[in-house]
Amino acid sequence: MPSNAAPRSATHYVAPIEETPLQAVDQVNEDEKTRSTWSDAWDSMRTRPMFWVSSVLILLIVLVALFPGLFAHVDPRAADLAKSNEGPEAGHILGFNRQGNDVYARTIWGTRNSLIVGVVATVLVSIVGIVIGALAGFFGGWLDTIVSRIGDIFFSIPTVLGAIVIMSVIPARNALTVSLVLAVFAWPQIARIMRGAVLSAKQSDYVTASAALGVSRFTTLVRHVVPNSLAPVIVVATVSLGTFIVAEATLSFLGIGLPQSALSWGVDIGNAQASIRTAPSTIFWPSAALSITVLAFLLLGDVVRDALDPKARARR
Amino acid sequence: MAWYLGKRLLQLIPVFFGATFLIYFMVFSLPGDPIAALFGDRQPSPQVIEQLRQQYNLDKPFIIQYLLWIGGVFRGDLGLTYSGLPVSSQLAQAFPITARLAILALLFESIAGIVVGVIAGLRKGKLFDATALVVSLLLISVPTFVVGFLLQYVLGINLGLFRVTVSGQAPWSELVLPAIVLASVSFAYIVRLTRASVAENVSADFVRTATAKGLPRRRVVGVHIFRNSLIPVVTYLGVDIGNLMVGAVVTEGIFNIHGVGGTVFQAVKLGEGPTVVSFVAVMVIIFMLANLLVDLLYAVLDPRIRYAK
């Protein structure tokens, strides 16, 4: 069967001859700083207001997660049942939840667990996905076949669904185990993207040049191919940080993520469910905090994608 | 095309066995004896326990348990729950409800999402486009259960337009609100995907050619732009079946719907291993078939994929 596949990159810009006078080629300014993908991306990002909005927001969220005591002076675990579901008063600006806890303090303290799960799961998924995807894509052969099929198996189980099943079995439920369980089902996504990026980077001239110079295959992979394949992984990882935070909240909301004793937005939203008619604000504040955090990472992911994808940069 | 279909079907087989084995392993490696848990403080005689363990194949090695179960699955026998009900009749009750919910959600998200996305893509940078982008970003960052509570509170409790919970039979009309909740995140993704791909195709060479040879605008948009813009959206719908199943667990919980998601959730909490494995296995099969269907649709939409090795 003849291959009908059209060349994928038929859009190379070829300048007419008069635009590239030959002497210009010789007039390369060698003192000029070399420009990498990353410095281009940085230049493109810092001109966008959305980058600064999301970065400042994320910085604030990280500060709250690291030092919640600076932002809330009330003990989030102090419960006064007499104040159950009561509205705001002096010193308790968002009122009380069903158990009589201060809603503001619990929302502030809940940041830490969400962020831990988001960061740990993202780091785990990125490390596993990058290593496996890079090896499979670069060396190919039976390694690629086996790894890709194993990835398919984990990919065929939706992340949160798999996490629901494992979390019901695991005796130790804390931020680390939740991250680990989410990562178990989420790594194939990164591995697939990394594998695809490595496959296309493998065709580059610098890989041939590196081989011609006698550099070992493994060194070529680590020094040249991987750094040039990271861009799409970074984009997906930024966005998935947000989705892991949602996943943790969903599991905790269902009662099988973090335990009842944990300070977590998901747990608080789940507990406030019963009071939706009488005290809807107890459900509103942790939900708002959760949504804003996820939004911050989504926005950053959008900006990073635009910056790392030259096509998108040209479109804007 | 037949060759392509055959290859894809063959690839599904190891994935199917791998995924079901993984789920089976996870559920039945759990610590604690489900038979002992049935009785609580008043433990029966060892003979009764032994007989029950035999009935549920718990006395056999793990791999034999799995093979017996998977053999039963192919015969349509999903075993018994620990309370003695056949899992298959549980599934027969729950499945139609979730199917109705998922169909409504898929219809809503694909029709509304594609329409909004196409309009936004054609009017890139205008007010409609900007609004669509902001709203979809908000919908993506607000988790499903929060959207659920919000709509339940505003539409159900404040305005009284919808019933807050769904009755046992779960007729189509009562599932509209839960379906919108279930579809909200995917709707936002479809809007963004369609918009991006329409906006890109508007300036594509083939669209310029079509306009240049004098085709009416309606045909350029309807055939040339629309069909080519659908490819990423169709791919997304396959992944989305997975999201919908997870979403169903949450949505069915909020609206008290006794569908597949609600049953899985109850079974996980009660430690009903047989129900969990069978239901999750069914979900995984649906997810795999949906992805296969998407790959085939993809091949129909883009001839390059049909012929590529």
pLDDT, tens digit (0-9, with 9 covering 90-100), for A99-153: 778 888 888 998 999 999 999 999 999 999 999 999 999 998 888 888 888 988 8
Q: Quick one: average pLDDT of A215-239?
A: 87
What string of H, E and C letters represents the secondary structure of B123-189? Answer: CCCCHHHHHHHHHHHHHHHCCHHHHHHHHHHHHHHHCCCCCCCCCCCCCHHHHHHHHHHHHHHHHHH
Give the nearest chain A residue to B288 (CA atoms): A156
What string of H, E and C letters represents the secondary structure of B12-77? Answer: HHHHHHHHHHHHHHHHHCCCCCHHHHHHCCCCCCHHHHHHHHHHCCCCCCHHHHHHHHHHHHHCCC
Interface test with A, best of B10, B11, B21, B142 (most A CBs within 10 A): B142
Q: Are residues A158 and B269, on separate chains, in Cβ contact within 8 Å?
A: no
Q: Check residue B309 and give its pLDDT.
A: 43
User: Which residues from A are below 8 Å from B143, CB to CB?
Assistant: 246, 249-250, 287, 290-291, 294
Burial letters A17-46, b for 16+ CB under 10 A, else e: eeeeeeeeeeeeeeeeeeeeeeeebeebbe
> What phi and psi, each to the nearest 5 degrees, are found at residue B61?
-60, 155
pLDDT, tens digit (0-9, with 9 covering 90-100), for B127-159: 898 899 889 888 888 888 888 888 888 887 777
Residue A2 has pLDDT above 70, yes or no: no
CA distance A87 to B228: 54
pTM of the predicted structure, to 2 decimals: 0.82
CA distance A175 to A259: 10
pLDDT, tens digit (0-9, with 9 covering 90-100), for A281-292: 888 889 999 999
Residues 6+ apart with CB under 8 A from A181: A162, A163, A166, A167, A170
Interface test with A, best of B10, B245, B268 (most A CBs within 10 A): B268
* Residue from the list B15, B144, B246 with its beta carbon closest to the beta carbon of A161: B246
Q: Check residue B108 and give its pLDDT.
A: 92
Give the nearest chain B residue to A7 (CA atoms): B304
Residue corresponding to tokens 């159900």: B156
Question: In a 10 Å sphere around its CB, with 0-12 CB exposed, 13-18 middle and 19+ buried, how is residue A123 labelled?
Answer: middle
Chain A residues 262-291 with a CB less than 8 Å from chain B = 269, 273, 276-277, 280, 283, 287, 290-291
CA distance B53 to B56: 5
Q: How far is CA B191 from CA A304, B187, B224, B229, B293, in A?
A: 20, 6, 19, 12, 22
Residue A175 has pLDDT above 50, yes or no: yes
Query: Which residues of chain B carry a pLDDT beneath 70?
Result: 1, 29-43, 56-59, 83-84, 168, 170, 303-309
Q: In this structure, are residues A225 and A202 in contact, taking their beta carbons and an 8 Å threshold?
A: yes
Question: In a 10 Å sphere around its CB, with 0-12 CB exposed, 13-18 middle and 19+ buried, how is residue B270 labelled?
Answer: middle
Residues 6+ apart with CB under 8 A from A36: none
For residue A113, what are its two tokens? Answer: 């667990």
pLDDT, tens digit (0-9, with 9 covering 90-100), for A63-80: 998 988 888 777 777 777
Q: Are residues A269 and B146, on separate chains, in Cβ contact within 8 Å?
A: yes
Q: Check residue B236 and give its pLDDT.
A: 84
Which of the given ranges, A176-190, A228-242, B216-230, B239-253, has the highest pLDDT on average?
Answer: A176-190
Mean pLDDT of chain A: 82
Q: In this structure, are residues A169 and A254 in contact, taking their beta carbons and an 8 Å threshold?
A: no
Residue A38 has pLDDT above 70, yes or no: yes
Chain A residues 243-262 with a CB less than 8 Å from chain B = 246, 249-250, 253-256
Q: Quick one: average pLDDT of A162-178?
A: 84
Give the nearest chain A residue to B287 (CA atoms): A156
CB contact, 8 Å: A146 with chain B? no
Chain A residues 26-45 with a CB less than 8 Å from chain B = none
Q: Residue B99's CB: how many other CB atoms inside 10 A?
A: 13
Residues 6+ apart with CB under 8 A from B289: none
Q: In this structure, are residues B194 and B209 in contact, taking their beta carbons and an 8 Å threshold?
A: no
Give the nearest chain A residue to B148 (CA atoms): A273
Identify which has the larger pLDDT, A202 or A60. A60
Residue A246 one-letter amino acid: V
CA distance B53 to B34: 9
Residue A4 has pLDDT above 60, yes or no: no
Give rounded-to-5 percent helix, strand, coil for chain A. Answer: 70, 0, 30
Q: Which of A34-38, A269-273, A281-285 has the lowest mean pLDDT?
A: A34-38
Q: What is the ipTM of this complex?
A: 0.80
Q: Check residue A18 and give its pLDDT.
A: 61
Q: Are residues B153 and A276, on separate chains, in Cβ contact within 8 Å?
A: yes
Q: In this structure, are residues B137 and A295 in contact, taking their beta carbons and an 8 Å threshold?
A: yes
Residue B267 one-letter amino acid: A
Tell which residue, A251, A315, A316, has the closest CA to residue A11: A315
> What phi and psi, each to the nearest 5 degrees, are found at residue A89?
-150, 175
Q: Check residue B37 and give its pLDDT.
A: 60
Q: Check residue B244 and give its pLDDT.
A: 85
CA distance A72 to A102: 10
Residue B1 one-letter amino acid: M
Identify which has the larger pLDDT, A301 or A121. A121
Confidence of residue A6 (pLDDT cuts 50, 70, 90): very low
Confidence of residue A3 (pLDDT cuts 50, 70, 90): very low
User: Which residues from B are below 8 Å from A290, CB to CB?
Assistant: 143, 146
Crossing angle of helices A159-167/A175-201, nearest 10°? Answer: 150
